[in-house]
Amino acid sequence: MHTRRTLLAAAAVAGLALSPALAQQARTPITMWIGVTGPAQEEIMRYAQEFNASQTQFEAKVEFRGQYPEQRAAAFAAFRAGNPPHIMQMFDAGTGDMFALPRATIPVSEVMQRAGVQFDPAAFIGPARGYYSRPDGTMNSLPFNVSTAVMFINDDIFTKAGLDPSKPPRTWPEVIAAANQIRERNAAECGFTTTWLAWTMLEQYSAIHDLPLSTEANGRGGLNAVLNFNDAPRARMVQTLVDASRNKAFQYGGRSNDANALFVAGTCAMLIQSSGGHAAIARDLKAKFSVAPMPFWPDVIAEPKNSIVGGASLWVFNAPNRSAEELRGVAQFLAFLARPETYVRFAKATGFLPATNAAFQAMQAEGFFQQNAGRDVPILQLTRGTPTANSAGYRFGRWTEIRDMYHEEVERALQGQQTAQAALDNTVRRGNDALRQFERSVGAAN
């Protein structure tokens, strides 16, 4: 396959100029797989077009390969076959897999260094920098669509139910009381729902309550972590969902993002969702809405800790025949995406958080958060206080599968087939088996 430089050199020797079509063909292609939909996908596609128009050496090709779990499976299959994408948008749950398989990727710090592109990990907001970096400060992946979980409230339904939307519920007892009042007054078909059940009701819940998911600092300290989230506070959260589902104070909306539809349709009054869903809610909900922090149990923790990073980061895949020219193109495209102005545009258009300090400060300086009530809630919650070992994030292999184990077991509890405690006991047992299997597979792969 001819590279762009080979074609240009041949044309120069022959005294010819490349036609526009051939010049386009001569660009080195850079492929990126993404797993987001809606406004976020539209924005990323637009940035690729702008990058392509800004230079003539590389052509970024952005492809949607299904939502995060499906894309993750496709990318690993492509890596095993020797033809992965140059860049992949990996969601937070896959971070542990990527850290444990270093031969599969090239750290973004190294990619930038090889290409001679200036790159400073300290430019990124602390929670994102810490989550995607090694202890020595090497950044393994580029934070891009950074998010955390927040609670969206349908102001119109609250008013109809006799509740004050300007004083959203802060604690779980207040959420349940509001949901019951909404049902009693028939203001909506359901009180609250949640997307991404394991992410919100287990991972985020544990972080803000300063509760461990496992030993070894939530897996960040080594592969031999043992899951231990089957305690009374986590069991009570599951039992709360079970009890609230009886009168539809809570309505289960599925394992991923499907519950969003229950909120935008006006079926449910409250939604726990990624902050990255803000733009789609603003576009689709035919009512006023507010944004509030994640609720907490005051008898578990008096002042909640920070929530944890969600969303995804951009990883550079390794491959047997990957050239230095391709890596230069990868570095330049990532640098284009990491410009403060790009992060500001992305945050404004989607509801994801500005990933760098400069982008956040630019939005503050122009008064964006003052003019857009609620848009600062997720970043204030994410950066609240000093992270502890329990609120600094997690890194587990096969966590996508363990999430689904949690989903399966909690679904059985919601269906009355087992207790909330049994649901967590079974998840921990099955999850620890998966972690031990992962350790063996990593040892063989590396």
For 367-425, how does the pLDDT look when each residue is reduced to its tens digit (9 = 90+)?
999 999 999 999 999 999 999 999 999 999 999 999 999 999 999 999 999 999 999 99
222: left (phi over 0), alpha (psi -120 to 50) or beta: left
**Domains plus CATH for the chain?**
27-147+310-366 (3.40.190.10), 149-307+396-443 (3.40.190.10)
Distance CA 7, CA 24 (A): 11
- Residue 139, exposed/middle/buried by CB under 10 A (0-12, 13-18, 19+)? buried
- Residue 432, exposed/middle/buried by CB under 10 A (0-12, 13-18, 19+)? middle
- Assign 99 to helix, strand or coil: helix
Average pLDDT (302-308) is 97
Query: Average pLDDT of the chain?
Result: 93
For 141-154, write each residue's pLDDT tens digit. Answer: 999 999 999 999 99
The percentage of residues in the chain with a pLDDT greater than 70, rounded to a whole number, is 94
For 91-106, write each residue's pLDDT tens digit. Answer: 999 999 999 888 899 9
pLDDT at 161 over 80: yes
Write down the pLDDT at residue 363: 97
For 212-262, write each residue's pLDDT tens digit. Answer: 999 999 999 988 999 999 999 999 999 999 999 999 999 999 999 999 999
Distance CA 303, CA 267 (A): 31
- In our burial notation (b when 16+ CB lie closer than 10 A, e otherwise), range 407-420 reads bebbeebbeeeeeb
For 290-302, write each residue's pLDDT tens digit. Answer: 999 999 999 999 9
Write down the pLDDT at residue 445: 60
pLDDT at 345 over 90: yes
pLDDT at 8 over 50: no
CA distances from 70 to 104, 256, 278, 304 (A): 18, 12, 23, 33
Kind plus residue range of the DSSP H or E element containing 272? strand 268-274
pLDDT at 442 over 90: no
Higher-confidence position of 377 and 22: 377
CB 435 within 8 A of CB 227: yes
